[in-house]
Structure 1
Amino acid sequence: MIFNIHSRKLTVYPDSERVFVHLFGSQPTAFWLDSSRVEPGLSRFSFMGDGTGPNSLLVQYSITDQKLTINCSGKITHRRESIFSYLHRELDRRYNCLEGLPFDFNCGFVGYFGYEIKAECGGNIVHQSQFPDAMFLLADRIIA
């Protein structure tokens, strides 16, 4: 599946918090990866988005049964495979960089690995969490 990346540079810079609250604040899958370094010439980029786009994916993983639960626009599928194998394959499949941006950008997954994911790397499962052991969102629309 090939996706197109579209970008445009804004001529005005609205308040980031207001933009986030207005566009994404009510969504349960909203994220804001904020640049914490604010220095002229050194500041990096912030990214915000959510999982409401038609090609977004919400991926949850359970280490105890090695089960992936993938939600794509309300269509839920299950797979039994490593979260690492799944992410590697999906990132390769969706690779699509846009020339001319002031940073390398290839839309990807945002999320977390829980402590128990260490069992995928040779460790032992010591505890079970009520939350997914890994959860990642692939947002198909973001603001940077």
Structure 2
Amino acid sequence: AADTLQPGPPCGADRLRLEWRRLPAEPPAEAIFGALFANSPTAFWLDTSIRPPAQAARYSVLGDTSGPLARVIEHDVWQPCATAAEKIRQLLAQPVDIPEDLPCDFSLGVICALGYELKHEATGVPRGQNHRSRKSPHPDALVILADRAVVVDHARGETILLALCPAAESDSRRREQHKWFAHTEQALQNIAGAPHPTDSPALSP
């Protein structure tokens, strides 16, 4: 269905805090994705293109929408509702406290997959008479508010866990996020300690 929100309600007027944990190891991003997110229909895996010369991309960001504060919007330009830009602004309206000592350049937020159909909302270009017959079976925009993520810092050889947490100590969603920290830290330690495939050595002639 268009414009669906899931899995849970927003935090309301309560402030959120971005909390983080650091793991002094750099498990392969593909191993992290396979172990933690491969079976999720809303999994994402992003790699930055900002890198020094002769080095790999610095950050890999992986996650899904299994957290208690995650939201998902599927936008259909044919539905008489708010535009995709308006919905993104609504998702970002929640106040969040960002720690000054955050060890990476990513602080969660929205992750979007935007289709070409959004040009009609963005530019006002009219649709042709046969436009509806060519409508894609996929959402014209898929917008995720990520409340958790695993960030691999390839430059420093470490992994950062991020989670949005309600400030109230008694909030069950805060406890759920802290359980995720503990579970994911253990999973990453297991991945980091396991042998990983490498390139096969060249065969001797």
Q: TM-score range by the shorter chain?
A: 0.7 to 0.9
How many angstroms apart in 1 are the aligned matches of 2:62 and 2:148? 9
Q: Deviations over 1:35-59 (max 9, x none)?
A: 3547577843111000111111110
Q: Deviations over 1:79-107 (max 9, x none)?
A: x2111112113213244423112444331
Instruction: State the aligned residue count.
Output: 131
Report the equivalent of 1:112: 113
Q: Percentage identity across aligned positions? A: 34
Q: Deviations over 1:91-135 (max 9, x none)?
A: 132444231124443311112111111111211234321111111
Report the equivalent of 1:4: 17
More helix by share: 2
How many angstroms apart in 2 are the aligned matches of 1:130 and 1:120? 19
Q: What is the TM-score normalised by the length of structure 1?
A: 0.78
* Shift in CA distance, 12/44, structure 1 to aligned 2, threshold 3 Å: closer
Q: Could you tell me which runs of 5 or more consecutive residues in structure 2 were left unpaired when the two chains were aligned.
A: 1-10, 152-205
- Whether 1:141 and 2:155 are equivalent positions in the alignment is no
- Whether 1:93 and 2:94 are equivalent positions in the alignment is yes
Report the equivalent of 2:200: none
Q: What is the TM-score normalised by the length of structure 2?
A: 0.57
Report the equivalent of 1:27: 40
**RMSD of aligned alpha carbons:** 2.3
* Shift in CA distance, 38/19, structure 1 to aligned 2, threshold 3 Å: farther
Pick 1 or 2: higher relative contact order, CA cutoff 8 A, min separation 6.
Answer: 2
